[in-house]
Amino acid sequence: MISFLTDLFSNFWVSLAGKLAIVGLMIPLVGMVIGFAEMKLSAKMQARVGPYFAGGRWGWAQLIADGVKFFQKEDLIPAEADRPVFKIAPVLVLVSTVALLVVIPFGPGLIFRDLSVGVFFALAISSLSTIGILMAGWSSGNKYSLMGGLRAAGQLIAYELPLVLAVVGSVILAGTMSMSGIVEAQIEAGYPYVIFQFIGFGIFMIAALAELSRIPFDMPIAESELVMGYLTEYSGFRFLFFFLAEFANMFSLSAIAVTLFLGGYWLPGIPEDVLAYVGPLILLAKTFLLVFVMIWFRWTFPRFREDQLQSLAWKFLVPLALANIAITAVFKVVLS
């Protein structure tokens, strides 16, 4: 039986179909789980209960109900909007999120495609969402959306640089840009890279929050000022795409952080063969820990103003990241 399955999946097309199915299912599933977690966790932090009625006492069916609700809404496109751009924007954002999952190693050998420049690919693809957001803001035909889109453009471009520079430290330590290669290097070294790359980890998490436009960096959305910023005119399933994309992106960026800094699917003391089965679970646990921290920050802090945000990125994070790279490189050369 097992051999039949392995033969089946060694066929290129079958395995491709299988991988597409998994990725296609993962995004809504992950999105729903994280969305639900956000609702319940924020409720706990705010002395209330959160979703309660949908699906029994825990309210677990709330997001399923929300998904169905979004799908059956009327597809409204404002008269002044630029139709093709308006329609493509959410797709672009979702696509960049999905593509990130391709290079995340879920276990030893359990990776959709092990690119030798995995890190580079991941960071490049995640920048596509910036274009999607700009398109959304501009094409909505609405001044608030335009302002939101412009703020988003400024913010996302500003924080790309710290995001990229922060991971260079890990790449130097591992000596490879392949994601699974970095995890294997951490396994070989016997410690997760965060122990030496804590600065890089911190910068990466801050930049990731900014890339996701989450509080404290949600100026582009800034609910209390711009209604919903670039998302104002989106409703129905187009809004669902953005909504899911945000949560899935939280997952993807956290997974990248776990892979590059926290040791990926590995925990010290677990033998290799067990790792093939337990690896995905370990990765998911670590990722959800980081997602929890992101949710926690969102409900605790107010938001930065645009110029404060920019000066944080350019005047603080970038120099710090460069210093981190320099120190790491020196140590690597001296100690090897």
By CB under 8 A, name the binding residues for another protein: 42, 45-48, 143-144, 147, 215-216, 218-219, 222-225, 227, 299-308
Type of residue numbered 119: V
Which CB, 234 or 265, lies closer to another protein? Answer: 234
Copy the structure tokens of residue 16: 């491709």
Which CB, 97 or 142, lies closer to another protein? Answer: 142
CB 239 within 8 A of CB 231: yes
CB of 287 to another protein, least distance (A): 24
CB of 303 to another protein, least distance (A): 3
Which CB, 122 or 219, lies closer to another protein? Answer: 219
Residue 266 burial class via C-beta count within 10 angstroms: exposed 0-12, middle 13-18, buried 19 and up: buried
Main-chain phi, psi angles of 220, to 5 degrees:
-60, -30
Which CB, 116 or 308, lies closer to another protein? Answer: 308
CB of 251 to another protein, least distance (A): 22
CB of 231 to another protein, least distance (A): 14
CB of 48 to another protein, least distance (A): 6
Which of 169, 2, 45, 26 has its CA nearest to residue 102? 26
Residues paired with 110 in a beta bridge: 107
Which CB, 222 or 240, lies closer to another protein? Answer: 222
Angle, helices 118-126 vs 143-174, to 10°: value is: 170
CB 254 within 8 A of CB 208: yes
